[in-house]
Amino acid sequence: MSANALYTDLSGYYDLMCVDIDYQAQSHSIRRLHQIFGNDGNTHLDLACGTGPHVRHFIDFGYQSSGLDINQPMLDIATTRCPEAQFYLQNMSEFKMAEPLDLITCFLYSIHYNDGIEKLKECLKSVHSALKSDGVFCFNVVDKNKINNALFVKHTAKQEDSLFSFQSGWNYSGEGEKQALKLRIEKTTAEETQIWDDEHPMVAFSFNELKEILKPYFEVHIFEHDYEKIIPWDQNSGNAIFVCVKI
């Protein structure tokens, strides 16, 4: 089963799959970074917005917030969650906006969904074009050279009469520009269990490679992957938050 098919089939369970994510803390942290590095504007676009939880928080912060995703069932849920927002069915690798924006975000490592370095470059060009002068692009990433293939995260959750188990982890072969996000979802109802396994190809890069790609378009600031504190990247962590100011 392809990743798009999996996400379409399970779009109604996506929020359950992400139940452990503190969307409010993530949104508040990026809002603080935008206040520090931004241009005092309040127009916002969330790339790969999914069902819109981050958009909801930015609206509540007072932003004119919108979302973009490639998956229509996700956007249908997002529209219900955030009726004030505009949502766009587009690929973040080559999107266009009618009006320039002050802030663009991409949470949950979703920037890696660009299919290869060339698609990533196209995405960054699209972001640069969509931002106002001194606009800010914030996203989180993983360094391919720091990935431990043996590590994964797992949690369970109940919905009505079903028990769900979600497991995900990165996998990198050690060479090239592709890594994989491995997903396993189990749904048990009574004595029947359904299982979805998926391995989605994603773009892989080191932080140094990413900085070189960003350099022509942005002034780049890198922070520790901590949504509770603003701490400069320690040059060693394999996960980080990138704050990029348009030049």
Provide the CATH number for the domain around residue 123.
3.40.50.150
One domain for residues 134 and 242? yes
Q: Is 183 exposed, middle or buried (0-12, 13-18, 19+ CB in 10 A)?
A: buried
pLDDT at residue 18 greater than cutoff 80: no
One domain for residues 192 and 219? no
One domain for residues 110 and 21? yes
Sequence-separated (6 or more) residues with CB below 8 Å from residue 153: 167, 168, 169
Kindly report the pTM of this predicted structure: 0.92
Rounded mean pLDDT, 160-178: 94
Kind of pairing between the strands at 153-159 and 162-171:
antiparallel
| pLDDT for residue 3 | 44
Percent of the chain residues topping a pLDDT of 70: 95
Which strands sit side by side in the sheet containing 178-189, from one edge to the other? 153-159, 162-171, 178-189, 192-203
pLDDT at residue 10 greater than cutoff 80: no
Rounded mean pLDDT, 32-38: 98
One domain for residues 208 and 237? yes
172: domain CATH number is 2.20.130
One domain for residues 97 and 215? yes
Task: Domain count for the chain, please give it.
Answer: 2
Residue 238, both tokens: 């394999």
One domain for residues 29 and 126? yes
One domain for residues 167 and 116? no
Residue 185 pairs with which residues in a beta bridge?
166, 196
One domain for residues 30 and 127? yes
One domain for residues 186 and 214? no
pLDDT at residue 89 greater than cutoff 70: yes
**Domain boundaries, position 171:** 153-202
CA atoms of 155 and 168, how far apart (whole Å):
10
* Tens digits of residue pLDDT in 97-139: 999 999 999 999 999 999 999 999 999 999 999 999 999 999 9
The 3-class secondary structure across the chain, one letter per residue, is: CCHHHHHHHCHHHHHHHCCCCCHHHHHHHHHHHHHHHCCCCCEEEEECCCCCHHHHHHHHCCCEEEEEECCHHHHHHHHHHCCCCEEEECCHHHCCCCCCEEEEEECCCHHHHCCCHHHHHHHHHHHHHHEEEEEEEEEEEECHHHCCCCCCEEEEEEECCEEEEEEEEEECCCCCCEEEEEEEEEEEECCEEEEEEEEEEEECCCHHHHHHHHCCCEEEEEEECCCCCCCECCCCCCEEEEEEEEC
* Tens digits of residue pLDDT in 52-86: 999 999 999 999 999 999 999 999 999 999 999 99
Residue 84, both tokens: 């004030």
| pLDDT for residue 75 | 96
One domain for residues 87 and 175? no
One domain for residues 198 and 208? no
The 3-class secondary structure across 79-95, one letter per residue, is: HHHCCCCEEEECCHHHC
Range with lowest mean pLDDT among 21-30, 35-44, 185-194, 235-244? 185-194
One domain for residues 96 and 209? yes
pLDDT at residue 198 greater than cutoff 80: yes
